[in-house]
A = this chain, B = another copy of it.
Amino acid sequence: MKIHFDDTNLRAAMIGDVHGLKSAEIKAGQPEALKALAGFQALVEEGRYGFPHQPFQTATIQEIERFGAQVRGSFDTVCLAGIGGSALGAWALDCGLRGPHPVQGAFTPTHPRLVILDNVDPALTLAALESMNPKKTLVVVIAKSGATAETVGAFLIVRDWLGPQGAKRIVAVTSEGRGDLKVLATREGYPTFHVPENVGGRFSVLSPVGLVPAALIGVNIRKLCKGAAGMTRLAWLPDLARNPALRSALMLYLSWTRKNKPIQVAFPYSNRLWGTAFWFRQLWAESLGKAKTRQGETVHAGQTPVAALGTTDQHSQVQLYMEGPNDKVHTFWTVARPASPGRIPRQKLGLEGFDYLAGQSLAKLLDVEQRSTAAALAANHRPNCAFTLDRLDEEHLGAFLQLLEFQTAFLGEMLDINAFDQEGVELGKKFTFGLMGRKGFESYREEYQRYETKRAQVRG
């Protein structure tokens, strides 16, 4: 397993002093990085945060593998009802290891597809139901709290659609000791896997939240966890030269806070890493977007993550990245050794705009375009860096996800914020519960109604 982080184009020597980091600035930040590592390590040792332990949960991994082997062949579709951290990890794994939709090819009991219901848009849910056969679908319902409104709404419809014998086709992933989903799962006898209390949604891809759906669609979760375990060992090294999670955390922290870059572009040059970019968006936004420090000081911290896809977004976003405000750090994600080159035919057609490509490969073009874009950004003083995965397989993807989780946790320490809560979404949830008539939320319904009255007045 080999993942390389290249920060050359974040440096002043490449992109100038205004937007680039001088060696002295980097050196001055190193004690902060080491302190962040030690601080996070103490919290993990206290048992506060559990994601670093997930790749080492051999008994859980084996239990999931056994379950997968037992049900294999009885379904051609895995239907996941879940949202946010309960869905994005599974998408990252499906897309990363089996390829992007809609070109995964025909689905069969030996090559099942993953259909994710992570919204309550009836246009999604009803179309999904029409596209699935209830006798050939295994439903995985995932909610740590056991009562996420969107997941419950979609699940109630899917449960009904499965019919009276449906309970046999449902698997639950939820908390062990609480929540209505756990009650229902016990009552109706769903096989159930548990999310450790100290593993939050966006850090749960290597817990049963990500591993159960992954195993069901045929991902080798043992290799996935092996890669993540290897990265975990690196991520605890108090050594910036050997620890890519800590080194990238430091460099991104310095670029963001010292050079005022409120936006990070996660820029995979790989359609397979597109799902991972959306998983990362949640990890970065929800962990580091915080009103207050842990001391209670108001800071409104947060760097807005943007997902861009190379080469595609060179024809959509790169004009802005090159000439717009210099307010971004661009993080390329590349794969050193693609599975196939995608050979372009050797035949020449006598067309100058075509023939230089004859006999070359798509893989080379993809690589050249990424390097050309990085060079052009650097020429315009735009900070950029790159993670390179040696290959894109279970081991490397598991390692990369774990790297990004550690990186985020380290950033949280450097910013002195709690990277593991999400209090900011509570008010919207309470308005929703109030408006949907859930008991105990009547006062939020009234507050919402006062807001609507005011809006009507303002509109005049």
Q: Select one of B131, B323, B429 contacting A290, CB under 8 A.
A: B323
Of residues 306 through 321 on chain A, the ones whose CB sits less than 8 Å from some CB of chain B are 306, 309-312, 314-321
Q: List, in ascending order, chain B residues with CB within 8 A of A371's CB.
A: 431, 435, 448
Report whether over half of chain A's contact residues are helix, strand or loop; otherwise say mixed.
helix
**A82 CA to B351 CA in the complex, in Å?**
18
Q: Which of A27-35, A56-64, A101-109, A224-232 contacts the other chain? A: A101-109
State whether the Cβ of A220 lies closer than 8 Å to any Cβ in chain B. Answer: no
* Cross-chain contact A306 with B309 (CB below 8 angstroms): no
| Interface 9-residue window, one of A191-199, A269-277, A401-409 | A269-277
Q: Do B157 and A311 touch across chains, with their CB atoms under 8 A apart?
A: no
Among the listed stretches A46-54, A211-219, A244-252, A359-367, which one makes contact with chain B, having 4 or more residues with CB under 8 Å of it?
A: A359-367
Q: Which of B84, B270, B315, B428 contacts A376 (CB 8 A)?
A: B428
Contact of A123 among B99, B122, B152 (CB under 8 A): B99
Q: A120 to chain B: closest CB distance in Å?
A: 4
Q: How far is the CA of A318 from the CA of B344 in the complex (A)?
A: 44
Q: A123-B99, A290-B324 are in contact. Are A304 and B302 (CB under 8 A)?
A: no
Whether A323 lies near B289 (C-beta < 8 A) is yes
A81-100 interface with B by 8 A CB criterion: 83-85, 87-88, 99-100
Contact B323 A300 (CB under 8 A): yes
Q: Which of B184, B323, B360, B436 contacts A356 (CB 8 A)?
A: B436
CA distance A202 to B320 in the complex (A): 14
Chain B residues near A433 (CB-CB < 8 A): 356
Could you say which of B263, B309, B353 contacts A180, with CB atoms under 8 Å apart?
B353
Given A119-B271, A153-B344: A322 and B369 within 8 A (CB)? Answer: no
Measured CB to CB, the closest approach of chain B to A27, in angstroms, equals 14
Say yes or no: A376 contacts B180, CB within 8 Å: no
A351-B183 contact in complex given A365-B150, A371-B435, C-beta closer than 8 Å: yes
Given contacts A126-B342, A428-B373, contact A316 B156 (CB under 8 A): no
User: At the interface, yes or no: A24 with Cβ under 8 Å from chain B?
Assistant: no
Whether B351 contacts A424 by the Cβ 8 Å rule is: no
**Residues in chain B near residue A103, CB distance under 8 A:** 115, 124, 127-128, 130-131
Q: Do A314 and B428 touch (CB < 8 A)? A: yes
C-alpha gap A448/B67 in the complex (Å) = 53
Give chain B residues whose Cβ lies under 8 Å from the Cβ of A113. Answer: 102
The smallest beta-carbon distance between A456 and chain B, in angstroms, is 9
Complex Cα–Cα for A347 and B281 (A): 37
Give the residue of B99, B127, B360 whose beta carbon is less than 8 angstroms from that of A100: B127
A443 proximal to B (CB < 8 A): no
Interface stretch (choices A37-45, A68-76, A325-333):
A325-333
Q: How far is the CB of A29 from chain B (nearest CB, A)?
A: 18
Nearest CB of chain B from residue A192's CB, rounded to whole Å: 15
Closest to A188 in B: B349
Complex CA gap A118/B271 in Å reads 10
Give the residues in chain B near A323, CB-CB below 8 Å.
289-291, 300, 302, 423-424
Further 19 A-B residue pairs, CB within 8 A, beyond A122-B339, A376-B431: A14-B454, A101-B101, A103-B115, A120-B311, A120-B342, A121-B270, A123-B392, A124-B271, A152-B354, A153-B360, A154-B362, A157-B343, A184-B354, A285-B316, A290-B319, A300-B325, A304-B304, A304-B324, A322-B424
A residues contacting B by CB (< 8 A) are 8-9, 11, 13-14, 83-85, 87-88, 99-106, 113, 115, 118-128, 130-131, 146-150, 152-154, 156-157, 159-160, 179-180, 183-184, 201-202, 262-263, 269-272, 278, 281-282, 285-286, 288-291, 300-302, 304, 306, 309-312, 314-328, 338-345, 347, 349, 351-354, 356-358, 360-366, 368-369, 371-373, 375-376, 378-380, 392, 422-425, 427-429, 431-433, 435-439, 448, 451, 454-455, 458-459
Q: Can you show 26 pairs from A to B with CB atoms below 8 A apart?
A: A13-B458, A14-B454, A103-B130, A119-B309, A121-B338, A123-B272, A123-B392, A125-B362, A126-B342, A156-B357, A179-B353, A180-B353, A282-B317, A285-B320, A286-B317, A289-B321, A300-B325, A302-B324, A304-B328, A306-B306, A314-B428, A323-B423, A352-B438, A356-B438, A368-B431, A372-B432
